[in-house]
Amino acid sequence: MASTKKVLLAAPRGYCAGVDRAILTVEKALDLYGAPLYVRKEIVHNKYVVESLQDRGVIFVDELDVVPEGSTVIFSAHGVAPSVHAEAAERSLKTIDATCPLVTKVHAEAKRFSNEGLDIILIGHAGHEEVEGTMGEAPNSITLVQNPEEARNLEVANPEKLIWLSQTTLSVDETIQTVNVLKERFPEMASPPSDDICYATQNRQTAVKAMSPLCDVVIVVGSGNSSNSVRLVEVALDAGAKTSYRVDSFRELKSEWLEGASTVGVTSGASVPELLVNEVLHWLAEQGYSDCEEVNTAEETLMFALPPELRRDIKAAAAK
């Protein structure tokens, strides 16, 4: 008799173009400049990636004041405020900016709208590095709103001169809920010319939505400080999964989670290497879930070039 145990594997999953670019930036910089190499904050929010790069001589720092003057420092994929660039210049640090181009787009919008005299409502999570960087572009013009409840209680000075932006890694549905509340309260509020939530975040959430109604359990591979990974658990539950768990690796999986489960869904956040997903699939196969079917809802072909300052140095080194 055929086994009824099966795995549904979401696609797309794992690395997005911005994460791929950021990690490749660090690896190429290591090859070019050697260790130690400094990175401000985690290059991407994934424990395995960070520890692997530390093993190769990368030193992750929270602030620039601990970086020796004249050193090379890379800014993470989440972006930094202009004040961080200024501090780096003051300390004669050589900087490579690995900010995701989609985050850079939000930074540019914040500057432009502020210069146009608009007040900006930024939908995002307090303390997240991306939010801190975006707010730093126009600190006197941006108000952070985290959820629909905060939107209901928000007071603004000029409701006729408002526009909203969002963190790129949010839940699409929750962001829409927050925007709808804001529009009810402030009907004249403008919207950005294009959606700020990144294509990869949306694609991973869409795949999980398609898969989750068929799943007893959905396992999301991703770190706890990865906003898009945490959102995938919420999306899975909202879409009909009976239970959902986030794990950094297969070592955190528990066999009791599978009791009575016939279908297990697996996905991963946008900063998760496929190696970690494969280890989860191997562990599930050992539990009897060897039948694996991919649920594919989109094809991703976008690629980003390396930061120009790194490309320039690689070209110069090759010419010697």
Q: Which amino acids are annotated catalytic?
A: 130
Q: What is the DSSP string of 150-218?
A: HHHH---S-GGGEEEEE-TTS-HHHHHHHHHHHHHH-TT-B--SS--S-HHHHHHHHHHHHHGGG-SEE
d(CA 12, CA 299): 7
180's CB contacts (< 8 A; 6+ apart) are: 148
Report the amino acid identity of residue 316: A
- How are beta strands 217-221 and 162-166 bridged, if at all? unpaired
d(CA 192, CA 153): 22
